[in-house]
Amino acid sequence: MSLLDHKPARFAVGLVAPALLLAWWQWQASRGGSNAVAFASLSTVGGAARELIVNGTLLADAAATLQRAFTGLGIGATLGIALGIAMAMWPLLDRLLGPLLNALRQVPMIGWLPLIGLWFGSDEGSELIVICLSAFFPAMLNAHAGVAQVERRYLEVGQIYGFSASQRFRRILLPAAMPMLLTGLTQSLAFAWIAAIAAELLMGASVGLGVTMQQAQTQQRLDIILVTIAVTAAIGFAINQLVYRIRSSLLAWQAPAQ
């Protein structure tokens, strides 16, 4: 067993790059001149963080963005998983909708903003649509692939035991497709979080981390921009780690890769 197999050692090694980045940033800020404007010192950023925490802005923004992201994830991923499974189980539906959906998913999400804004305006509903679309496609594609790739011999076993259609789905298709379903859900969560920030930045939300970033840019508050970026990254990382642990727990029955 190597040193990096120990969790404390891996954690310590993972801190090296952030520590070097912070040291370089502080060095740039301490050089003065134009660097002092382009690189806010760590003490200044810390002061901005305290300001946002004390006045409650940071907590309110984080809560609003999380609510948008998870609401959009719940709607978009649920619809995506349901449609992906249906298309994998019924080839006719796949032939009807597959080409259209594969064409639509090639459009970057930011490319939909003008159309969504024109149709639905720039309000909370439009932001939610953007997040739902971001979560929909990864969930749909992985659900479709997961069910379509189930080995035929598993279904033949179900026929031997006389399983009904619902029993084949619950006992064979769903467990076999679960790794891909969870992969799609993980990707959908990442896209939903990114889309929530982007929608707040570009569609005029009233509260959220993206809103504070936009306001800080207008006020030329680099320190606040850096705080919101750091909080966005930290929350995204924490969510990713939580999902990874849940996924590992649900798939504990799988044999480890050799």
Q: Using one digit for the tens of pLDDT, what is the confidence trace for 214-244?
A: 888 888 888 899 999 999 999 988 988 888 8
The total number of structural domains that make up the chain = 1
Residue 231 in any domain: the answer is yes
Could you give the CA distance from residue 224 to residue 214 in angstroms, rounded to a whole number? 10
Could you give the CA distance from residue 207 to residue 189 in angstroms, rounded to a whole number? 20
What is the per-residue pLDDT for 114? 82
Counting runs of H as helices and runs of E as strands, what totals does the chain give? 13, 0
The single residue listed with the structure tokens 């969930």 is 139
What CATH number is attached to the domain comprising 87?
1.10.3720.10
Residue-range definition of the domain harbouring residue 237: 58-250
Residue 34 in any domain: the answer is no
Q: Of 41-50, 157-166, 178-187, where does the model show the most confidence?
A: 178-187
What's the predicted TM-score (pTM) here? 0.81
Condensed to tens digits (0 to 9), the pLDDT of residues 122-181 reads: 777 888 999 999 999 999 999 999 888 877 776 666 666 667 767 777 777 778 888 899
What is the per-residue pLDDT for 257? 45
Residue 2 in any domain: the answer is no
What is the per-residue pLDDT for 209? 92
The least confident of 13-27, 182-196, 239-253 is 13-27
HEC readout, 131-162? HHHHHHHHHHHHHHHHHHCCCHHHHHHHHHCC
Residue 202 in any domain: the answer is yes
Residue 46 in any domain: the answer is no
**Segment 194-206 mean pLDDT:** 85
Residue 131 in any domain: the answer is yes
